Amino acid sequence: MEPTIAQREPIAVELEAGEDMFWCTCGRSANQPYCDGSHAGTDFRPRLYTAPETGTAYLCGCKHTKTPPLCDGSHNDLQGQGAEDAKEHPSIKSALGRERTGDIC
Ligand code: FES
């Protein structure tokens, strides 16, 4: 089962050193990049990440990174795969209007 592509760019978040967060691996969360429980009924589980330092982290929004939860630029290699995922998935439709930053990859 392929994850839903929540967005095709990283999501910038401010984290404190030692702060725990649960990164959404399924792409269905309406609170990207964090898990909101929308993975229920799938084989996906959230991934615990503990920030190693205080500062901005660029978390994967496409859910295809090979260095989870950090963006590795994999969104640039997605050839239309799941292009409509983010627009059509009901649980994340409302999150699409949120401001996105961190286009670093
Ligand atoms: S892993 Fe995506 S909502 Fe929990």
Q: For residue 7, is pLDDT > 90?
A: yes
Q: Is residue 20 part of a domain?
A: yes
pLDDT of residue 56: 97
Rounded mean pLDDT of the chain? Answer: 84
Query: What mean pLDDT comes out for the span 86-99?
Result: 44
Q: For residue 98, is pLDDT > 60?
A: no
Q: Is residue 3 part of a domain?
A: no
The reply to whether ligand 1 has any atom less than 6 angstroms from the CB of 46 is: yes
Q: Would you give the distance in Å from CA 62 to the centre of its chain?
A: 6
Q: Is residue 64 part of a domain?
A: yes
Q: Is residue 4 part of a domain?
A: no
Number of folded domains that form the chain: 1
Q: Is residue 49 part of a domain?
A: yes
List the domain range (segments joined by +) for residue 20: 11-97
The Å distance, Cα 76 to ligand 1 centre, comes to 22
Q: Kindly report, residue by residue over 31-65, the tens digit of the pLDDT.
A: 999 999 999 999 999 999 999 999 999 999 999 99
Query: What mean pLDDT comes out for the span 9-16?
Result: 97
The Å distance, Cα 7 to ligand 1 centre, comes to 14
Q: How far apart are the first and last CA of the chain?
A: 25
Q: Where are the alpha helices (DSSP H) in 1-105?
A: 85-88, 90-93
Q: Is residue 102 part of a domain?
A: no
Q: Is residue 44 part of a domain?
A: yes
Q: Is residue 1 part of a domain?
A: no
